[in-house]
Amino acid sequence: MVEQISYARVKSDALSAQTYSQRKQDKHEQEMSMLAKAFSKTSDIHTVLDAPCGVGRASIWLAQQGHEVTGIDLGQAALKLAGELAEEAGVKVDFASHDIFALPFEDKQFDATLCFRLLHHFESEELRARLIAEMCRVSERYVVMSRITPHSVTSWRRRLRFKLFGKPIKQYPVTAAQLDAQFKKHDFSSISQVGGSEFLHSLQLHVYMRN
């Protein structure tokens, strides 16, 4: 039986999209710095898929680096705002509405694919595996993917709050070894990990290259 996908976090209305775009500036800059470090490990890339793109933060940054960027998301409001922000920034990004688990693109269509701040929304190993498979399928050379580490102080606190008070866990961590094993199935190997100490920093960004 194929597991059903929840789309509860899709930014379909204008208010949720606008709220998501108003990320704290220092947080935004930290994340863009992570992207810069991760993409510095790649070479000879031109076409990049940002999946999902949300309100276009990463898509715009990638376009500013000179890449030809396609950003996909299911949130119509998020896509609309992403287009407006890209126009304000003076860059061109091809934004479109597509399901990340069933992309309409050809195999190896993009030089690189970015999947940022999504994997940790899925508790199910099956859904994580399906996501990774689709990212690898459309990527010619690289996949850049973030994860939440189970070893950080924040992850430990979340597990403790769940155990003591029953507070639901909404961000599901995976280890680097678990992620590496999934990518290995698709003939990709890890070439870099960005994010600093896993004890202090929950968000980690991995660069995988096709063997």
Q: Which portions of the chain are predicted below pLDDT 70?
A: 1-23, 162
Whether 52 is in a domain gets the answer: yes
pLDDT recorded at residue 1: 37
Give the Cα separation of 141 and 44 in Å (integer): 10
Q: Which residue has the tokens 């909404």?
A: 170
Domain count within the chain: 1
pLDDT recorded at residue 196: 85
Lay out the sheet containing 47-50: strands in order across: 93-97, 68-73, 47-50, 110-115, 139-148, 203-210, 188-194
Whether 205 is in a domain gets the answer: yes
- Smallest Cα–Cα separation from 171: which of 205, 100, 135, 123? 123
CATH number at 194 reads 3.40.50.150
pLDDT recorded at residue 140: 98
Query: Which residues are paired to 207 by β-bridges?
Result: 144, 192
What percent of the chain lies above the pLDDT cut of 70? 89
Give the Cα separation of 198 and 201 in Å (integer): 5
Whether 9 is in a domain gets the answer: no
Q: Say whether pTM exceeds 0.85.
A: yes
Whether 28 is in a domain gets the answer: yes
Whether 3 is in a domain gets the answer: no
Give the Cα separation of 95 and 80 in Å (integer): 9
Give the Cα separation of 33 and 82 in Å (integer): 20
pLDDT recorded at residue 2: 41
pLDDT recorded at residue 17: 52
pLDDT recorded at residue 191: 98
Whether 196 is in a domain gets the answer: yes
Residue range 27-59, pLDDT digits in tens: 889 999 999 999 999 999 999 999 999 999 999
pLDDT recorded at residue 4: 47
- The string over 102-114, giving b where at least 16 C-beta atoms fall within 10 Å of a residue's C-beta and e elsewhere, is ebebeeebbbbbb
Full residue range of the structural domain in which residue 82 is found: 14-210
Whether 1 is in a domain gets the answer: no
Q: Which residue has the tokens 């031109």?
A: 46
Look up residue 209 and give its two tokens.
């290259």
pLDDT recorded at residue 171: 85
